[in-house]
Amino acid sequence: MTKKIMPASGTVINKTFAYPIRVYYEDTDAGGIVYYANYLKFAERARSEFLRTMDINQQQNLIEKHTGFIVRSCQIDYISSAVLDDALTVICSVAEVGGASAVIHQEIFRDDELLAKLDVKVVHMNIETHRPCRIPPEYIAKFTNFIN
């Protein structure tokens, strides 16, 4: 193959990040609707791409700085169900940022219909000591650009 095909990467719209997701058969339960835990997977993929869009390289940070963002807590509200073949959009913005943590607000839509909303608190962690550490100032500045 001569042409490089890139995975979906999402797009920035104002102070939010939008990431496309397609619902596949593997995402659904016996009733044909998206299994509740898969909304967390959709949100995780979008958050990872959100960080990538902010030029925060998670793999490089793990290897070189021994730090990473770890989920501390997640509040999720399921509003409506997605089904097989739905085209979804996960919207990400920053609700708050502190010295060692941030809260990422996420909403999952099918067209204009809100299906789920999440508030995910992530902690910047030293993976060797398993202790929180300060978020680098350049990352705080990047997060601040997405406070909505």
Q: Which residues are catalytic?
A: 29
The three-state (H, E, C) secondary structure of 67-93, written as one string: EEEEEEEEEEEECCCCECCCEEEEEEE
Q: Is 55 left (phi over 0), alpha (psi -120 to 50) or beta?
A: left
Give the distance from CA 32 to its chain's centroid: 25
Kindly report the CA angle at 105 between 101 and 106, in degrees rounded to 5? 135
Backbone torsions φ then ψ of 84, nearest 5 degrees: -50, 135
Lookup result for tokens 């501390």: 72
